[in-house]
Amino acid sequence: MAKIYSENSIEKLNELEPKNETVNFILNYSKALSVISCNKMKFEALLN
């Protein structure tokens, strides 16, 4: 069973090309994301 899934995923791996809009969205999101550590807790803030 694992062999079947690995063969299909290798074939489709070359077909994956994200759109420029998707890449820009992820980059802009990562630039705006801020992680604040406080007393062993982490808070995520989206500075938009």
In a domain, 4, yes or no: no
Residues near 42 by beta carbon (within 8 Å), at least 6 away in sequence: 35, 36
On average, the pLDDT of the chain sits at 81
In a domain, 41, yes or no: yes
Model confidence, pTM: 0.52
Size of the chain in residues: 48
In a domain, 33, yes or no: yes
Beta strand residue intervals within the chain, DSSP E: 33-38, 41-46
Average pLDDT over residues 27-34: 91
Structural domain of 38: 18-48
Instruction: Give the count of domains, the chain.
Output: 1
Show the CA angle centred on residue 10, arms to residues 7 and 14, nearest 5°: 150
In a domain, 30, yes or no: yes
Residues forming a β-bridge with 37: 42
Q: Which two tokens stand for residue 35?
A: 């992680």
In a domain, 38, yes or no: yes
In a domain, 23, yes or no: yes
